[in-house]
């Protein structure tokens, strides 16, 4: 298969997610706690004292391993990452929402890094909307480099590099 990963909504259960665990070296990325405003419509609904995203993490963490499954957890809810890490300490987290959505890279690193880093931080709009002018390529490059340099500082601060 010519892909690295697939993002899947876990709400239909294990039998719907399992077919995506098809080959070594491929990742299944499950939506857990997204950074968009509408994520709270369902992900924060509580049942039995737990939010739906918490149930998703606890249940689905048994379906795959930390070598083939990661979770989308938005940067706009960075302070919740410490609790999320208690449930899934070793899984990678794909973290959108740094930049235009208001997520803080420093907070994501503070609450979400594990002993191996464990984060794939994404900034889309912060880069692709860096400029509407002729200087777009340069401005986008500068924003991407700025994020990369900020991440390098966080890795150094956490003694990961």
Model confidence pLDDT, tens digit, residues 40-87:
899 999 998 999 999 999 999 999 999 999 999 999 888 899 999 999
**pLDDT (tens digit per residue) in 124-141:** 888 999 999 999 999 999
Show the 3-state SS of 37-70. Answer: HHHHHHHCCEECCEEHHHHHHHHHCCCCCCCCEE
Share of the chain above pLDDT 70, in %: 99
How does 46-55 read in b/e, with b if 16+ C-beta sit within 10 Å?
A: eeeeebbbbb
Q: Whole-number mean pLDDT of the chain?
A: 92
What is residue 147's three-state secondary structure? helix
Average pLDDT over residues 8-26: 90
**Residue 100 confidence (pLDDT) above 70:** yes
Q: Where exactly are the structural domains of the chain?
A: 5-123
The CATH class that applies to domain 5-123 reads: alpha beta
For the beta carbon of residue 129, count every other beta carbon within 10 angstroms: 14
Q: pLDDT digits over 145-154, tens only?
A: 999 999 999 9
Residue in 3, 37, 41, 44 with CA at minimum distance from that of residue 20: 3
pTM: 0.90
Instruction: Output b/e per residue, 101-118; b: 16+ Cβ within 10 A.
Output: bebbbebbbbbbbbeebb
pLDDT of residue 144: 94
Is residue 20 within 8 Å of 62, Cβ to Cβ? Answer: no
């Amino acid at each position: 298969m010519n892909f690295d990963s697939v993002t899947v909504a876990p709400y239909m259960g294990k039998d719907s997610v399992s077919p995506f665990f098809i080959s070594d070296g491929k990742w299944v990325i499950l939506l857990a706690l997204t950074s968009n405003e509408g994520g709270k419509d369902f992900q924060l609904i509580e049942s039995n004292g737990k939010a739906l995203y918490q149930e998703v993490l606890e249940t689905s963490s048994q379906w795959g391993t930390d070598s083939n499954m990661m979770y989308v957890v938005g940067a706009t809810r960075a302070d919740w990452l410490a609790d999320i890490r208690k449930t899934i300490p070793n899984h990678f987290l794909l973290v959108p929402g740094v930049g235009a959505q208001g997520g803080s890279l420093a907070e994501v690193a503070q609450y979400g890094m594990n002993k191996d880093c464990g984060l794939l931080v994404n900034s889309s709009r912060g880069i692709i909307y860096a400029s509407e002018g002729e200087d777009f390529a340069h401005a986008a490059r500068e924003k991407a480099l700025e994020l990369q340099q900020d991440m390098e500082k966080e890795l150094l601060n956490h003694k990961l590099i």
